[in-house]
Amino acid sequence: MDSATTATQTKKAEDASASRESLTITDNRSGKSYEIPIKNGAIRAMDLRQIKVDPAEFGMMSYDPAYNNTASCISKITFIDGDAGILRYRGYPIEDLAEKSTYLETAYLLLHGELPTAAQLKEWTYSVTHHTFIHESIKKFLDGFHYDAHPMGMMISTIAALSTFYHDAKDIFDAESRRKQTYRLVGKMPTIAAFSYRHTLGMPFVYPDNELSYPGNFLNMLFRTTEAKYRPNPTLEHALDVLFILHADHEQNCSTNTIRGVGSSHVDPYSATAAAIAALYGPLHGGANEEVLHMLLEIGTVQKVPEFIKRVKAGEVKLMGFGHRVYKHYDPRARIIKKVAYEVFELMGKNPLLEIALECERIALEDEYFIKRKLYPNVDFYTGLIYQSMGFPISMFPVLFAIPRTSGWIAQWQEMLLDPEQKIARPRQIYLGHDTRQYVPMDQRG
Ligand code: CMC
C-alpha cells in the first residue's frame, strides 16, 4: 500500500469517527479508552459506570449538585431556550397562549398534549367545574388553623389531607382514577386557596359558583360579600387568567422535580402535589413574589434604590425577582406580565411601588454586576405588584402561583409514571465521611 492510499484511508477513518454520534473518553489512570454513545445531545450517566481502573471498583459517576447539567427525564411537555428567552407548552409559544387561550384550555393542552376541540373543552370545563366543592369536613380541618396561618402552609396540609378522602387515588396506574384526581386537583385548588384566605379574615366561606369562569369563580370565592350574585370585573378576571397561563408549567424546576421525585415512590397524587406545593413555597422559587413585595416595601422610595443595589452587589442581599437557573435572558413571562400590570393599574390605579420596581430594573439592566451574571427580571418581579393592586394580601402571592402550576405538575407526574424508563428516584452520593470507627463509650468521649 503506498503512502497516498494509507493517508486517504486514515482520513476516511477520521471522517467516519468524526461523524459518529459518540464520545471517546480516555481514562488517564489506566490509559483505556471508552466509546460512549450520544443521543439527543446527551450521554447516559450509566454508561460511565464501565469506567474503572480495578474491576472491583464501583465505576465512574458524574457529580452534579443541584442538577446544573443533568437531564433527569425525557419530556414532551414544555420547552425552554433560556438563552433565547423562549418558552413553549407542547410546542405552542407562551405569547400565543397568553393572547389567545384560556387557563383551562392551556391546562388541557399540558395534560393531554393537544389543544382541545370545542366539545373536548366543554367536557373538560364541565368536569373541572363540577369538582370544585370540597368535603364539609375539610372546612372543619381549615378551622383548626390559627387566624394568622400562612395560606401556603394551609394549602400543603389540606391538599395532603385530600388523600384521606379519596382512597381511589392510590390506583395511580388506572387511567380513569388519574383522570378523576386531575379534575379534583385542578378544580379544588382555587376553593382551598380561597377558603384559606377567608379563614385568615374570619369571614364565612363562599361556595363555588358553577356559572363563572375558572378565574371568575376564584375571585367570587375570595371577595364576595353580600351580593346575591358575584360578577367578577372582566379586566381582573382576564388578568388572572393570563397570569394562570404563564404559571402553568416550567419544565424541570424545583417543585416539578419534587412531584416527579415524590411521585416516583408511587404515592397518591395528593401527597405528591402537597410535596410540590412545599417546594414552591421557598423564597428562591414560588415564594419569591412575596419576597419581591417585602423588598420593594423595604426600599421604600425611588431615591433609595441605588443604595439597595449597592448592598446587592456587596452580596448582603439578593435582588428578589431577578435571576433564573435557566433564563440567561429576559424571562418571556416577565415581558407579558409587565403588559398585564399596566392593564390592571389602569383600572385599579398605579401601584406606588411600581416606580421603585422600574428603577431597580433600569439600574440592574445597565449595571456590570447584573450584565456579567446575566440577571434579568423573572416571572416573580412584577406579579406581586399586580396581585397587590388586585387586592390580594402578600401571603397569598405564592398560592396564586400554586393554583395554575397544578396542571403542569399533574402533567409531569403522569408523564413520569407512564415512562417505562423511570423508576424510584434515587441519586448516588460521594461519601467523604469517616471510615469505620470504633464505638467510643460515653466516659471516654472528649
Ligand atoms: N440578586 C443578586 N445576585 C444574584 C441573584 C439575585 N437575585 N441571583 C443570582 N445572583 C448571583 C449569584 O450570587 C451568583 O453570583 P457569583 O457568581 O458572584 O457567586 C450568580 O448570580 C449566579 O447565581 P446562582 O445562585 O449560581 O444561580 P442559580 O441558578 O443557582 O439560582 C435563582 C437561580 C433563581 C435561585 C437565583 O437567581 C435567585 O436566588 N434569585 C432570586 C429569587 C427569585 O427571584 N426566584 C424566582 C425564580 S423564577 C420563579 C420560579 O420559577 O421559581
Predicted pLDDT of residue 8:
56
Catalytic site residue 241? Answer: no
Is 285 an annotated catalytic residue? yes
User: Domain 89-232+252-280's class?
Assistant: mainly alpha
How far, in Å, is the centroid of ligand 1 from the Cα of 318?
8
Identify the residue whose cell numbers are 450509566: 46
* pLDDT tens-place string over residues 146-181: 999 999 999 999 999 999 999 999 999 999 999 999
Tens of each residue's pLDDT in the chain, 446 residues: 455 555 555 555 555 556 799 999 999 999 999 999 999 999 999 999 999 999 999 999 999 999 999 999 999 999 999 999 999 999 999 999 999 999 999 999 999 999 999 999 999 999 999 999 999 999 998 999 999 999 999 999 999 999 999 999 999 999 999 999 999 999 999 999 999 999 999 999 999 999 999 999 999 999 999 999 999 999 999 999 999 999 999 999 999 999 999 999 999 999 999 999 999 999 999 999 999 999 999 999 999 999 999 999 999 999 999 999 999 888 899 889 988 999 999 999 988 999 999 999 999 999 999 999 999 999 889 999 999 999 999 999 999 999 999 999 999 999 999 999 999 999 999 999 999 999 999 999 98
Given ligand 1 and candidates 322, 326, 371, which is best to mutate, with the most ligand atoms within 8 Å of its CB?
Answer: 322
Output the pLDDT for position 19.
75
Round to the nearest angstrom and report the end-to-end CA distance of the chain.
78
d(C-alpha 249, C-alpha 78), whole Å: 7
* Ligand 1 geometric centre to CA of 353 (Å): 22
Rounded CA gap, 145 and 123, in Å?
36
Angle among Cα 348, 239, 389 to the nearest 5 degrees reads 30
Q: How does pLDDT run across 12-43, given as a tens digit for each residue?
A: 555 555 679 999 999 999 999 999 999 999 99
Q: Is 320 in the pocket of ligand 1 (CB under 6 A)?
A: yes
Residue 435: which residues within 8 A CB-CB, separation 6 or more?
A: none
Which secondary structure element, helix H or strand E, spans residue 60, and what is its range?
A: none
Rounded Cα gap, residues 192 and 132, in angstroms: 9
Mutate to test the pocket of ligand 1, among 152, 365, 375, 376 (most ligand atoms within 8 A of CB): 375
HSE on the CB side for 169, CA within 13 Å? 23
Q: Which ligand 1 atom is at minimum distance from the Cα of 331?
A: 48
C-alpha cell at 96: 400565543
Sorted by where each begins, the domain ranges of the chain are 89-232+252-280
Atom nearest to 326 CA in ligand 1? 29
* Confidence (pTM): 0.93
Active site residue 380: yes
Residues 6+ apart with CB under 8 A from 378: 288, 321, 322, 323, 324, 327, 331, 333, 334
State whether the beta carbon of 323 lies less than 6 angstroms from ligand 1: yes
